[in-house]
Amino acid sequence: MANFDLNQRYEFSAGAKRWSIILLAIGILSVGYGLFSGHAERTFANLLLNSYYITGLCMAGLFFIAVQYVANAGWATALIRIPSAFSAVLPWAGLVLVAVIVSGLYTHNLYHHWADPDLVNPNSPKFDKLIEGKSALLNLPVFIGSITGFLIIWSLFSRMLRSYSTKEDQIAGIGMHDKSVKFSAIFLVIFGFTSAIFAFQVIMSLEAHWFSTMFAWYNFAALWVSGLSAITLTLIILREQGYFTWINDSHLHDLGKFVFAFSVFWTYIWFSQFLLIYYANMPEETIYFKHRMENGYLPLFWLNLIINFVLPLLILMTRDAKRNFKTMKIVTIILLAGHWLDYYIMIMPGTVGAEHGFGIIEIGTTAGFIGLFMWIMLTSLSKAALVPKNHPYLEESLHHDI
């Protein structure tokens, strides 16, 4: 087999830096435009969407690493530094998310469905019994505290796993690996519960009367598919630039299987949530989908299913498609856009309702967050070698052949 330069490092080139700064500047300008042109609520909904999206990508990166460790999987070792760089963005993405949520709460009442003391005051004419019943979870200290707390806990785990991995580069031996396996297992248990509450609080509480236990899984599926797509896309683009030459079509095949399988999983969860509500036909539940079928959301509602289910199902079904770098590049870009739309349909009807749109604010804010994510992710990627050279499964991964 060919000799690879396993000490290769990513160099955050001036071109890539320029692009991320341009995107970030576009983002800041369009947020400014949105805030001062009378579209403040729509801007905040977009900020929430995008910061939740990139936090999801970072969570997916961390989850990917933890799953690989716990499952004793070797195939992804040669590309593990990409999800690792994703997970390194988590503290920053979390900071942005909390900043958006807190400023939204205190300036524009982003969570107006429940964040109003009158709603839980029995003497007020606005008193809402349902909201009062949920006030143990949906009150400002618990809300902000738990979201911040979860993000801090996950960030600590991402720091820990990353530092073990970089320490492993310095000192050979199995010690760091064993530690990583142990803390990955602990992380996964914590993540399983906290990510559910996180999704309930950040997104589901936008429409606080409605609830669905499926929602946690639905959000997890969305973040996992978009995370896998982002990991694959980053890998393909870096490989085109001459990095990761050791990645072969078998690695891509496995990533493709992940993307394919979890697109179907996403649909499964989406449909499970939809079917139960459709079948039971209870007004307090169906209202969620009614909001998503009127005010111009209906085409988006269908487009969501076509992009995130039908397209990956048909395109990625064959083995050859999953092993083709060009096909995978196109599909992952489509899926990243598709799950942006998915979050759009989750967030917009409950915040801006009929005032939604797609224009400078949406495109600009998204561009800004892409720039922000690119900048921090590529900086973290350049800080360590592209392969963990003392990882016990590295040899297995370099010979990956399926």
Partner 1 sequence: MSNIKYILGHFDDPEVLMNGIDKLQKSNIKIEDVFTPFPIHGIENKLGIKRSRLPIAAFIFGITGTITAFSMVYYMLVHDWPMNIGGKPAFAFPDFIPVMFELTVLFCAYGMVFTFFYVNHLFPGRAPRVMDLRATDDRFIIAIDAKTNDVNAVDAVLKDAGAVEIKHNARKYISYDEE
- 250/257 Cα distance (integer angstroms): 10
Q: Which is nearer to partner 1, 18 or 319 (CB)?
A: 319
**Considering only 62-70, 186-194, 215-223, 271-279, which stretch makes contact with partner 1 by CB under 8 A?**
271-279
User: Residue 392 and residue 219: Cα distance in Å, rounded?
Assistant: 33
Distance CA 302, CA 306 (A): 6
**In the complex with partner 1, which residue's Cβ is closer, 182 or 319?**
319
What letter represents residue 248's amino acid? N
Task: For residue 229, give the nearest of 55, 346, 61, 358 by alpha carbon.
Answer: 61
Using CB under 8 A, pick the residue from 3, 14, 279, 326 that binds partner 1. Answer: 279
Residue 128 DSSP SS3: coil
278 near partner 1 (CB under 8 A):
yes
User: Rounded distance, CA 343 to CA 223, Å?
Assistant: 10
CA distance 6 to 139: 51
CA distance linking residue 222 with residue 309, whole number of Å: 12
Measure the CA–CA gap between 76 and 387, rounded to whole angstroms: 10
Tokens 């980053």 correspond to: 234
Under rule CB under 8 A, residue 293 binds partner 1: no
Residue count of the chain: 402
Are 169 and 385 in contact by the 8 Å Cβ rule? The answer is yes
> What does DSSP assign to residue 174?
S
- The verdict on 317 binding partner 1 (CB under 8 A) reads yes
Closest CB to partner 1 among 271 and 325?
271
With CA atoms as reference, report the closest residue to 12 among 381, 371, 270, 322: 381
Among 14, 72, 281, 326, contact with partner 1 (rule: CB under 8 A) = 281
Could you say whether residue 275 binds partner 1 (CB under 8 A)?
yes
Residues binding partner 1: number (CB under 8 A): 10
Among 19, 183, 211, 274, binds partner 1 (CB under 8 A): 274
The DSSP 8-state label assigned to residue 385 in this structure reads: B
Give the x/- contact pattern for partner 1 in 319-348, rule: CB under 8 A. Answer: x-----------------------------
Q: Is 290 in the site for partner 1 (CB under 8 A)?
A: no
Q: Rank residues 248 and 390 by Cβ distance to partner 1 and give the closer one.
A: 248
Report the residue number, 299 or 401, with the smaller CB distance to partner 1: 401
What are the phi and psi torsion angles at 386 (to 5°)? -75, -15
Residue 71 or 313 with smaller CB distance to partner 1: 313
Tell me the two tokens of residue 232: 């694959």
Per CB under 8 A, 306 contacts partner 1: no
Q: Is 265 in the site for partner 1 (CB under 8 A)?
A: no
Instruction: Please list, in sequence order, all residues whose beta carbon lies within 8 angstroms of the beta carbon of residue 285, skipping any fewer than 6 positions away.
Output: 210, 212, 277
Instruction: By CB under 8 A, name the one of 33, 211, 271, 325 that touches partner 1.
Output: 271
Q: In angstroms, what is the minimal distance from the CB of 325 to partner 1?
A: 20
Q: In terms of CB distance, is 5 or 284 closer to partner 1?
A: 284
- Residue closer to partner 1 (CB basis): 190 or 311: 311
Q: Which helix (H) or strand (E) holds 207?
A: none
- List residues near partner 1 by CB under 8 A: 271, 274-275, 278-279, 281, 317-319, 401
